[in-house]
Homo-oligomer: A and B are copies of this chain.
Amino acid sequence: MLNQPSPLDLTFQALADPTRRALVERLVRGPASVSELAQPLDMSLPAVMQHLAVLESSGLVRSEKVGRVRTCRIDGGTLSLAEQWINQRRMEWASRLDRLGQYLETLKNQGEEP
């Protein structure tokens, strides 16, 4: 991860931490301020901000500051980017198993018929 990490790197890395997933779980229910997000978590405010920075640099979360309160919200597009990557692999994996099954079926039938 030395040479600038890809969006996918950043997104999966962001999701790899339980605290950050908890933040995402909170934010899918609607926007929230930094201290609202920090309140249920058992760590210092700066720690929460660092987690938010990770989420934001991955694109999973966007935020804007008005007055002295920063409001954070989910970016669904980034979420679905990660989902798509997994989905495509799983699809390819499943279709390969399918072809394999069909092939084994033809072998079985060849053994029965003649």
Chain A residues engaging chain B, CB cutoff 8 angstroms: 1, 5-6, 8-9, 12-13, 15-18, 21, 24-25, 28-30, 74, 76, 79-80, 82-83, 85-87, 89-90, 92-94, 96-97
| A89 adjacent to B79 (CB under 8 Å) | yes
- Give the 3 A-B CB pairs with smallest separation, nearest first: A12-B16, A13-B16, A28-B93
| A24 adjacent to B89 (CB under 8 Å) | yes
| B74 adjacent to A80 (CB under 8 Å) | no
Residue in chain B with minimal CB distance to A80: B90
List the B side residues contacting A85 at CB < 8 Å. Answer: 15, 21
List the B side residues contacting A87 at CB < 8 Å. Answer: 83
